[in-house]
Amino acid sequence: MSLLADDFAYLRQRVLRRSGLVLEPDMHALVETRLMSLLREERLPDISALVARLRSQPESSPLHQRLAEALANHETAFFRDAPVFDALRSTVLPALLAKRSRTRTLRIWCAACAYGQEPYSIAMTLAEAGLLITGWTVRILATDFSTRALVRASEARYDAQEIHRGLTPELRQRYFHPERDGWRLNEQVRRPVELRPLNLMDDFPPEAPVDLVFLRNVMIYWDVPTRRAVLARVRRMLHADGYLVLGAAEASPLVEDGFTRHLIGQTSWYRPTPAPHASASAPVEDAPRPPRSGARP
Ligand SMILES: C[S@@+](CC[C@H](N)C(=O)[O-])C[C@H]1O[C@@H](n2cnc3c(N)ncnc32)[C@H](O)[C@@H]1O
């Protein structure tokens, strides 16, 4: 199968709009590989036939969504980039718990959660800290634009290969039980995780500010204007004293995007830079936010 330049250009432009993914000119082979199962499912002989079918359908059609999902990278693992979880445990979580001791409420947003390993790793970290049983209200909103990924995440069942990636035998023993050919996460750790579809290309007005955002290993595939636009929206959704963490390969100063970088151990965490006119003594805990309109994530 060889990918025609016109077809590649069409796919590139569609996917950029749909998911932000930038298909580079040297990604022909990757595109061909990733589209193979979509071709099979649609019973199409080649990519030109797929492009013809896509052209005949509105951009809002399910086929366009499936195209973007098929081309996305869904690679993930439990406790991916372990130093991030070390810093969460040792520094970020204690700092947030101190700030939220009055409301005893913690809201976390995992913004591209793939098959669930990331939000469930956060939930296990909270469980290990005793937070799931001590009267705190903890909510982990886990979103992804891929409905297929979310279906898998909601099953919370992982095969032998997945379960061995990043998870210690102790944590597997404590939080999973064998089910069919794999391991299923226990209800206690699934409960605080709420899965929802959300495309980061869309505007996403918050229902309430969140304390912590995991936005890892998704911006890496975007161009700079897209990163900027999404970071601006993330900043609006983050508490003034909250934290943002990116993927290891995505670390950047982000200064011009309104964040200040804090090094914790070997990892970078970002906190909203106070606006110049903000009073230094203004309380930040649970500060009220103006009501917003529009669709909720
Ligand atoms: C490489 S995985 C990263 C998963 C997890 N954050 C981690 O670091 O292990 C990237 C995820 O981003 C999702 N994604 C890609 N573009 C997206 C978009 N525009 N909006 C929301 N999710 C997106 C993909 O579906 C995929 O599940």
* Structural class in CATH, domain 5-71: mainly alpha
143-174 pLDDT per residue, tens: 999 999 999 999 999 999 999 999 999 999 99
Give the binding-site residues of ligand 1, using a 6 Å CB cut-off: 19-20, 72-76, 80, 112, 114, 118, 144-146, 149, 199-201, 216-218, 247
Query: How many A from CA of 119 to the centre of ligand 1?
Result: 12
Q: What would the mean pLDDT of 267-291 be, rounded to a whole number?
A: 61
DSSP state of 191: T
Ligand 1 centre and the CA of 280: distance in Å? 36
Residue 46 is which amino acid? D
The structural architecture, per CATH, of the domain 82-272 is: 3-Layer(aba) Sandwich (3.40)
Residue range 70-85, pLDDT digits in tens: 999 999 999 999 999 9
* Strand, coil or helix: 177: strand
For residue 214, give the ligand 1 atom closest to its CA. 6
Q: Give the dihedral sign, CA 109/111/115/117.
A: negative
Lateral strand order in the sheet of 137-144? 193-197, 137-144, 105-110, 210-215, 238-246, 267-272, 259-264
pLDDT on residue 283:
39
pLDDT exceeds cutoff 50 at 265: yes
Which atom belonging to ligand 1 lies closest to the Cα atom of 20?
19
Alpha carbons 294 and 220: distance in angstroms, whole number: 28
The CATH 3.40.50.150 domain(s) of the chain lie at: 82-272
pLDDT at 13 over 60: yes
Average pLDDT (12-17) is: 96
Q: Is the pLDDT of residue 255 over 90?
A: no
pLDDT for the residue 206: 59
What value does the mean pLDDT of the chain take?
90
Q: Which two tokens stand for residue 150?
A: 């979310």
CA of 111 to the centre of ligand 1 (A): 8
Q: Which of 101, 86, 87 is nearest to 137 (CA)?
A: 101
Query: Is the pLDDT confidence value at 293 over 50?
Result: no
| pLDDT for position 277 | 65
CB 211, CB 243: distance < 8 Å: yes
Residue 195: closest CA among 110, 259, 258: 110
Query: How many Å apart are CA 92 and CA 95, to the nearest integer?
Result: 5
Span(s) in the chain for CATH 1.10.155.10: 5-71
pLDDT tens digit string along 204-236? 765 679 999 999 999 999 999 999 999 999 999
Closest CA to ligand 1's atom 13: 112
